[in-house]
Structure 1
């Protein structure tokens, strides 16, 4: 018999999860294929749920106090009395009590980012996996959505306790959680992130935003704006550890970009006769076939040039690291790792840069698309804002019909919208 060291810590969910309090749920995770352990074995994690009075950050009192302070701040109220200390046990949030094993894997490099470690090679990662197993099961039981936990969403400081159990190593034997007297609160685990919600006021950025927010607000429905919004969402989901969502958002963002660029090129080729029946019909034949990735590549490569077919091309790298991963996530339920997602994000960034560079390279052929998709600053950074293009921007473009309106009307006619 061997003695196994157990680690215990809490995961505050920030919301109420409807499951009976105090009933332990044990999960045994097999890790036979992973080399993270010195011997083939399984890992147990036992979790219980506790419903605590809602903490100030997620309580109704906090919300009311924030609104009360706003009224005071803008002069609609003179009351500054705080109600934050008033307790109301009607409102609760769930905290998960996690007990799992401390691992001593042979292959893991402890200098790496913990997010890149095998999911069963560390008690914190094992606890996250066990918590998400339960959350997903509760979602199915209640037919309601509850957000899963990510490493990045957890408090950056965890209070850790330690205990030991005897175990028939390496055989798989379920162990029981030791009684409270056998636990020692022995320290704090500092996670490899700092996710405290602390914002520093940026008055210079405020001035930039107020000068441009009206301009942006009037163009939000444009497909290029939708591509960018999805790109912003990708980086946010990646940063907070929602890897599957980030991979799916990347695929949607890239698809929006590509179909939008093809549409812009077709629109500009018809300019100024963009409502001509023959040109609209010709464009429709192309656009209706863009569900095939091969057709998208064909249309873009023959108009923009560049390397779209070799193994080293950004297109092929994105297909391998981004599209194939997205398909696995969507169609097989694959949970992408940190490394897989990081590779997909890098491939996505390089692919977007490649497409943007190709548009800039053809700025003299498609000046309207280049100015809209790359922008004057982007063209100048790429040394593509030539004298000819500047004259077009400053002298010709202001006299033309509004491009946004023209493109939107053309798209409606072309797609039958």
Structure 2
């Protein structure tokens, strides 16, 4: 389709070119579990399917989103304060708090609370029907089969890009984390097509009648709304550029982001939920995803046929792949009893086996050490990639990137010239790598027992 395939702000320079009927529209309002700090009333629109690379199908529904930043002087924190005072009042031996004192105490523990409310509009009629084996649970419906689930899919993409950009754990707005109320309205609508300055076409849903409703939707879970936090940091300046880069990777289905997401999830499990065992497993998984991603990229740049490249993993085992395939290409010292690899092997890899296969419950310090060892291994791997930038310039630019080279004081010479003169003349690397990886995965599955 000749249309904008990336998330686009409606504030861009556009002009209207056509209008077509869109049938019934559904308009949803729901609160996110934590603040997503877009500027208040930011508008975004995209085509949302079941998977990132299926979003450009002709019948893929449109989803438009408005981000509302709402401040309240009452909420869960206030309720918690009331509960504390009520508990105190149950003891007759404690002097009753005077009205003035109570108000002063309340002001201390009742700051303003911040919420992000999403207004999402999409086609009420979905292009797909539920699968024959659908469980009946709404959250098991794919985005192309349910209007609410595709709205959640879009806001989840935005949240994933934000947390990658700021490099901090943040709950994703998945179905189980959305607490009620969810309000839904319906109206007849149309698709208005706009043309960008550069010729791209942007399709936007707009109502043509009065909104009917609301319909109150209660999520099929009993989870509570997580604590709200102020909208910091804001998505602007340098952070906006990083956000856009990460969102672009998400939207094309780039698997290189997998390691970063798994490691963020490990940190979230440990530091947000206190799940030490889960954190260890996720940290080890993150390292394996990173190794697989880097090795796949090196094999792609070496132009190794996928049928041959599949043998780089012996029965899916990651350590032999590191020692026999990654180390010879990246050079340096790779030993399981010393250095970055040794620390990760002892503190994360072997601990993960104890957790998974022995039911061992690690202590928090053990989990912290596992995460630190995993991060140190990632830095070692990226440093080795940089050291081999003359041999693997494409891998270097796709993983460490210009920003990483600048931080190391190495954005000069041949690698900079390659990026500015050679890279623009070649087909898009990430798209080619995605196709290579898909084929490699199919070949690897044939070799697994």
Task: Give the TM-score normalised by structure 1.
Answer: 0.49
**Higher radius of gyration, 1 or 2:** 1
Does 1 or 2 have the higher relative contact order (CA < 8 Å, sep 6+)? 2
